[in-house]
A and B are shown apart, each in its own frame.
Chain A
Amino acid sequence: MNGLPCSPGVDFKKVSLMQALDLAVTIEEEARDRYLELADALSIAHTPEASEFFRKMARMEEKHRVALLTKRRASFGDRPSTVGRLQIFDVEAPDYDTVRAFMTVRQALDVALQSERKAHAFFKAALAETSDPEARFLFAELVAEESDHEAYVQAEIARQATDPWGDPPGDPAAYSDEPVPQ
């Protein structure tokens, strides 16, 4: 298989640990940028609560990106990335058409939940395609991490149902993983 539909040109059968890390870093970067883009659009469209929620999601994606990049640098130094933004299309980034002016935080949470599920499905498919043991280990970790992020969003949805005005349960960054040396 020469690439999953949203990552054209990435051959998962031949993917190495470094490529897998580059792929994951780029996916988090795209998601961070998209959340910021959507937050800006909602802010301009007088939808501040949903906008703020997307900024929070952007911070979470950034934290995850930095953690993955740290791991990558620990093993491979500053060697150029093997994956570019032209190879990643909406893997974890929410689709542009999922937002609307005056959407509620609850609707924004649904958007984030769908995105985490997309990412989970992507890494699961990547894991099934990959044969390199180290890359497989990383993809398995990423599948678990995306499940954690999904759990965070679901917890927030549940909290919203009982207390729509309260603070979210804990720092979303707590659901991001600390860098772990390979």
Chain B
Amino acid sequence: MDTATTTATATPKDYSSPLKPIWCPGCGDYGVLQALYRALAAIGRPPHEIAFISGIGCSSRIPGYTTAYGFNSVHGRALPIAQGVKLANPDLQVIVAGGDGDGFSIGGGHVAHAVRRNLDLTYLVMDNQVYGLTKGQLSPTSPKGLATVTSPLGSLEEPINPLLYTLAYGAGFVAQGTPADLPGLTALIEQAIRYPGFAFVNIQSPCVTFGQEEQQMRAHKAHMRPLASLGHDPSDQLRALDLARSYGKELHTGVLYRNPNPPPTYDALVRERQRALAPEAKDRARLLDVFLQK
């Protein structure tokens, strides 16, 4: 994705801000951040062409740890703000980061609309199945039966399934990764950013302080099942839906679904509509034409 201001040799450090993360030592988010830096370096767009939008939570601190533009917004509202940013400046590479609580509880209503609207956004959810920042309450993806400070006798609810949720609404790119597989996660994030449309990556990022033993990286390393090793074809939407049903029981990593024929994005349709309604309007690149004599 070369641009006029692309540096020929981008390195992960180009995207790392001097601000030190304050996550708990051992947190999965450190690996996610490292994978993100590397994915951005692989793509090579300079930091000023990228915007990170987040809500509230441990993982929502990510914008501060990058050299790109960043907006650490309000709880659950990262997606609407990101859509506004993308519509206002379609040239920006907009990446949305947040946790499972931010994305699928208070912000859950926004996900469906972001998916169906299909702006060219990348949505990275660091799913740790618990509210870590506020000291370990039940989250929308907590497994049924989990005992927490807000469910001392165990949760009575089934968890939300982020993979099934986004697939069911028609997301064109749905993947799952873990920082226990850093090369794999880097590749997934890179593919998600490159996908032309709404791309969702559910990242199983363990909470070392309040998470369960079976959700830690050691368990991920032992039990993860790369989809490539199962011979999964990412263009097979029905199979992707079937695989997504095993969320919470099996840790499938890789691209579940990638639409082989991505439809036009909402931002592209808006620009097309604008051109149709005002044919005399100039493209952004031709704005200077009004000052030049032809």
- Measuring CB to CB, which residues of chain A are less than 8 angstroms from any residue of chain B? 5-6, 8, 37-38, 40-42, 44-45, 47, 84-86, 89-90, 95-101, 103
Contacts and interface: CB of A to CB of B under 8 A. Distances in A.
13 contacts: A38-B25, A40-B21, A44-B22, A45-B24, A85-B38, A96-B27, A96-B34, A97-B180, A99-B26, A100-B24, A100-B26, A101-B24, A103-B25
A96 B22 contact: no
Contacts of A90: 182
Given A8-B183, A89-B182, A97-B217, A41 B208 contact: no
B12 A45 contact: no
A38 B22 CA distance: 11
B183 A6 contact: yes
A37 B29 CA distance: 13
Nearest to B183: A89
Contacts of A47: 25
B contact residues, range: 20 to 34
A85 B26 contact: no
B31 interface: yes
Interface string B197-230: 0000000001010000000111000000000000
B276 to A, nearest CB: 42
Given A44-B20, A45-B25, A97 B208 contact: yes
B64 interface: no
B20 A84 contact: no
Nearest to A8: B183
Contacts of B140: none
B41 A86 contact: yes
Interface in B14-37: 20-28, 30-31, 34
Please name the 5 residue pairs, one residue from A and one from B, whose CB atoms are nearest each other, closest first: A97-B217, A99-B25, A96-B30, A41-B25, A96-B31
Contact of A85 (B12, B25, B28, B206): B12
A85 B218 CA distance: 24
Nearest to A81: B9
B214 to A, nearest CB: 14
B268 interface: no
A97 B220 CA distance: 11
Nearest to B190: A86
Contact of A84 (B11, B27, B30): B11
A97 B206 contact: yes
Nearest to A9: B183
A85 B23 contact: no
A7 to B, nearest CB: 9
Interface in B151-189: 179-180, 182-183, 186
B198 to A, nearest CB: 26
Contacts of A100: 24-26, 208
A101 B22 CA distance: 11
Contacts of B41: 85-86
Contact of A96 (B9, B20, B26, B183): B26
A8 B9 CA distance: 18
A61 B19 CA distance: 23
